[in-house]
Amino acid sequence: MGAAVSLPSWYSLRTVSRFRCRVTNGLRDSRNFKSLPTSTTIDQPTEQTGIESTTSGRQRVSALVALTILEVLQASDRPFEVFEEEDTSITMPRRLGLSDAVERRIRTYQKETRKGNKISDEEFADLVRLVVKRPDARAIFLECGARLAGKLPRRPGLMPRRLGLALAKRRVRKRLRALFGRRIGGFADGGFILEGRSLLFIQSDSGGDACSLVLGLCSATLSGSIQDPPTISHIACEAREDEYCRWGPQ
């Protein structure tokens, strides 16, 4: 928790993954797949039933969030080198991200995203719990946040820095509301400091890894809004027994 991220020189999941033990992660993913919560229907075909029929509660989290989580999971498990005509579903069956079940659910979420549909908080929490069992959970959520920041305008070279910061905060507020269907924290007066208590991320993951999704989104947005952006960190977290979660310059 709390590791700083410097932008715009983004690390990549492929770089992070080079340092993982593939065999250990593969065995761990296999165990995770077997222990999925019963409320998560990722191992069942859902093309016919759709998301709403497999979840309970109010749907207000964008299906794009779920799609992005599984796409990043899949990308992180994809091997760097594949022999010609190699079927990774056979040669690397224990990697959850490469399983047929994940591929089926990705296709479902792609359809739901195109329709502008939502998922429930419970379904989002199930996906979060699927990721936090992995040793690379923070890296996955960080990449998810960067992708969910969306397409940003080119960094304006002549815009005053103060105006650029104001626009970045506005973009983060609007994007988080659009993705999660509610206000996610608020910015303190002055610089780029986002704060919130009892947020959906802590409710879904008491360990705090899921908070890296907000970190990735904030960092990517700020990088696309001003020149020479400061390094953004998760400087306080309820998972560390702080009073609230806070993202901002170290």
Same domain, yes or no, for 159 and 245? Answer: yes
Listed residues 143, 170, 201: the one ending a domain: 143
Q: Mean pLDDT, to the nearest integer, of 93-121? A: 86
Mean pLDDT computed over every residue of the chain: 78
Residue 26 and residue 146 in contact, taking contact as beta carbons nearer than 8 Å = no
Is the peptide bond between 8 and the residue preceding it cis, with omega within 30 degrees of 0? Answer: yes
**Where residue 58 falls among pLDDT bands split at 50, 70, 90?**
confident
Q: Is residue 2 part of a domain?
A: no
Same domain, yes or no, for 27 and 139? Answer: yes
Q: Is residue 25 part of a domain?
A: yes
Same domain, yes or no, for 19 and 134? Answer: yes
Q: Which residue has the tokens 């507020």?
A: 173
Q: Is residue 173 part of a domain?
A: yes
Listed residues 143, 169, 189: the one ending a domain: 143
Q: Is residue 8 part of a domain?
A: no
Same domain, yes or no, for 49 and 139? Answer: yes
pLDDT above 70 for 67:
yes
Question: Nearest 5 degrees, angle CA 116-CA 70-CA 233?
Answer: 95
Question: What is the pLDDT at residue 157?
Answer: 67
Q: What is the pTM of this model?
A: 0.73
The residue range of the domain holding 44 is 13-143
Listed residues 115, 143, 171: the one ending a domain: 143
Q: Mean pLDDT, to the nearest integer, of 4-25? A: 41
In the chain, how many domains are there?
2
Sequence-ordered list of residues with C-beta below 8 angstroms from that of 135, at least 6 positions apart, any chain: 20, 24, 25, 28
Same domain, yes or no, for 31 and 138? Answer: yes
Token digits for 216? 């990735």
Same domain, yes or no, for 178 and 127? Answer: no
Cα(168)–Cα(222) distance, integer angstroms: 6
Question: What is the pLDDT at residue 81?
Answer: 55
pLDDT above 60 for 55:
no
Residue 144 and residue 68 in contact, taking contact as beta carbons nearer than 8 Å = yes
Q: Is residue 3 part of a domain?
A: no
Same domain, yes or no, for 27 and 72? Answer: yes
Same domain, yes or no, for 107 and 40? Answer: yes
172-185, pLDDT tens digit by residue? 999 999 999 999 99
Q: DSSP assignment of the chain, as one string?
A: ----B-SSS---HHHHHTTS-HHHHHHHHHHHHHT--TT--TTS--TTTTTGGG--S-EEEEHHHHHHHHHHHHHHHS-S---TT--HHHHSTT-GGGSHHHHHHHHHHHHHHHTT-EEEHHHHHHHHHHHHTSTTHHHHHHHHHHHHT-PPPPPPSSS-HHHHHHHHHHHHHHHHHHHHSS---EEPSSSS-EEESS-HHHHH-TTSGGGHHHHHHHHHHHHTTSSSPPPEEEEE-GGGT-SSEEEEE-
Q: Is residue 75 part of a domain?
A: yes
Residue 245 and residue 211 in contact, taking contact as beta carbons nearer than 8 Å = yes
Same domain, yes or no, for 27 and 132? Answer: yes
Q: Mean pLDDT, to the nearest integer, of 11-21? A: 41
Q: Is residue 113 part of a domain?
A: yes
Question: What is the pLDDT at residue 188?
Answer: 83
Question: What is the pLDDT at residue 23?
Answer: 34
Cα(13)–Cα(231) distance, integer angstroms: 19
Same domain, yes or no, for 128 and 190? Answer: no
- Paired with 62 in beta bridges are 118
pLDDT above 90 for 92:
no
Listed range (11-25, 214-228, 234-248) with the worst mean pLDDT: 11-25
Same domain, yes or no, for 90 and 180? Answer: no
Q: Mean pLDDT, to the nearest integer, of 178-204? A: 93
pLDDT above 90 for 236:
yes
Centre a 10 Å sphere on the Cβ of residue 125 and count the other Cβ atoms it contains.
21
Q: Is residue 1 part of a domain?
A: no
Per-residue exposure over 21-43, b if at least 16 CB sit within 10 Å of its own CB, e if not:
eeeebbebbeebbeebeeebbbe
Cα(136)–Cα(125) distance, integer angstroms: 17
Same domain, yes or no, for 131 and 159? Answer: no
